[in-house]
Amino acid sequence: MKKDLLKLLDLSSQDILTILDTADQLKAMKKAGIQHPFLAGKTLAMIFEKSSTRTRVSFETGMYQLGGNAIYLSDKDSQIGRNEPVEDTARVLSRFCDGIMIRTFAQEEVETLAKYASIPVINGLTDFCHPCQVLADLMTIREHKGKLAGLKLCYIGDGNNMANSLIVGGLKCGMTVSIACPDAYRPDPAVLDFAQQYPGMLQCTPDILAAAKDADVLYTDVWASMGQEGESSQRKLVFEGYQINDAVMAAAHPGAMVQHCLPAHRGEEITAAVFESHADEIFDEAENRLHAQKAVLYLLMK
């Protein structure tokens, strides 16, 4: 693997599969009660300019289970929140720690941090992509379906960081991907350009049922992500109907599984009935954030 995990676009298909295989092994060790302090004595600095439940708890717990330590830095706890240049923060943390995880807004900030850091940098989320979440998603799909290649993944909603990363991760793992979104909310042009390397493997349409047809996996996310709260009312109007419901499930392949990166707004992007009937799959996905990220930490920091 490369030194950092900044976006899935940087990884090869084999890199992704190596992470998933390692995650499976670490999960099996955890379930068997086998101690695995592979990162004993190592420290991860966690920079949070966007708050999160799952990202903080999974990374902090993951470092603990790997025998290391994690330091939480909110924008109030670090000089990066007081306008210290990112490149200076990168060089200082590189003298203290063994890795950096950052959850922020601009992808450029993550790329700059990695450029100036001499230790691995992990993208915990930006407005452009969410690689750690999609690694957990792919891990969960493979657990439930036994494979990735040849499956159809359908994402319904905003063409946001989740859609961007699902397209890249899905295509690199041999899946066909369909995105159901309004024309004004399509995925990032750079991601759509990337998808041209996989002719006929990506469909992007405002037609929800057409996108969901014969899908093996249905995926959705909230209509207004963190930082878009001011657009919430407008987005409810734009995305009305972009929902996983009984009609969408009927269009999908029989036995289709459902994924949601959480938190979920029942009654908006997914009905309460569909959510609860697929809760085991969704919370397996949430748990696998821990195992997939432990794999990334191990592979980058061992």
Of 82-86, 99-103, 249-253, 267-271, which range is least confident?
82-86
What pLDDT does 220 receive? 98
- Residue 236 CB coordination number (10 Å): 13
Please check if 226 is assigned to a binding site: yes
Is pLDDT above 90 for 225? no
Is pLDDT above 80 for 78? no
> What's the average model confidence in pLDDT over 171-187?
98
pLDDT for 8-45, tens place per residue?
Answer: 999 999 999 999 999 999 999 999 999 999 999 999 99
pLDDT band at residue 1, thresholds of 50, 70 and 90?
A: low
8 Å CB contact between 201 and 195: yes
What pLDDT does 238 receive? 96
Percentage of residues of the chain with pLDDT beyond 70: 98
pLDDT band at residue 230, thresholds of 50, 70 and 90?
A: confident
Please check if 126 is assigned to a binding site: no
What pLDDT does 224 receive? 84
> What's the average model confidence in pLDDT over 84-99?
96
Please check if 221 is assigned to a binding site: yes
Please check if 18 is assigned to a binding site: no
The residues spanned by each domain of the chain are 8-130+289-301, 132-287
Is pLDDT above 80 for 204? yes
pLDDT band at residue 126, thresholds of 50, 70 and 90?
A: very high
> What's the average model confidence in pLDDT over 220-249?
91
Average pLDDT value over all residues in the chain: 96
Please check if 93 is assigned to a binding site: no
Is pLDDT above 80 for 5? yes
Please check if 186 is assigned to a binding site: no
Is pLDDT above 90 for 51? no
Please check if 131 is assigned to a binding site: yes
Measured CA to CA, the distance from residue 188 to residue 129 in angstroms comes to: 10
Of 81-85, 143-147, 186-190, 209-213, which range is least confident?
81-85
Residue 240 burial class via C-beta count within 10 angstroms: exposed 0-12, middle 13-18, buried 19 and up: exposed
Is pLDDT above 80 for 3? yes
Fold of 132-287: Rossmann fold (3.40.50)
Please check if 261 is assigned to a binding site: yes
Please check if 5 is assigned to a binding site: no
What pLDDT does 278 receive? 98
- Strand 99-103 to 121-125 pairing: parallel
> What's the average model confidence in pLDDT over 74-78?
78
pLDDT band at residue 178, thresholds of 50, 70 and 90?
A: very high
- Residue 106 CB coordination number (10 Å): 13
Is pLDDT above 90 for 222? yes
Architecture in CATH for domain 8-130+289-301: 3-Layer(aba) Sandwich (3.40)
Measured CA to CA, the distance from residue 252 to residue 249 in angstroms comes to: 5
Q: How much is the pTM?
A: 0.96
Residue 290 burial class via C-beta count within 10 angstroms: exposed 0-12, middle 13-18, buried 19 and up: buried
Please check if 103 is assigned to a binding site: yes
What pLDDT does 2 receive? 59
Nearest residue to 47 via CA among 116, 153, 126? 126
Question: Which sequence positions are flagged as catalytic?
Answer: 103, 130, 133, 221, 261, 289
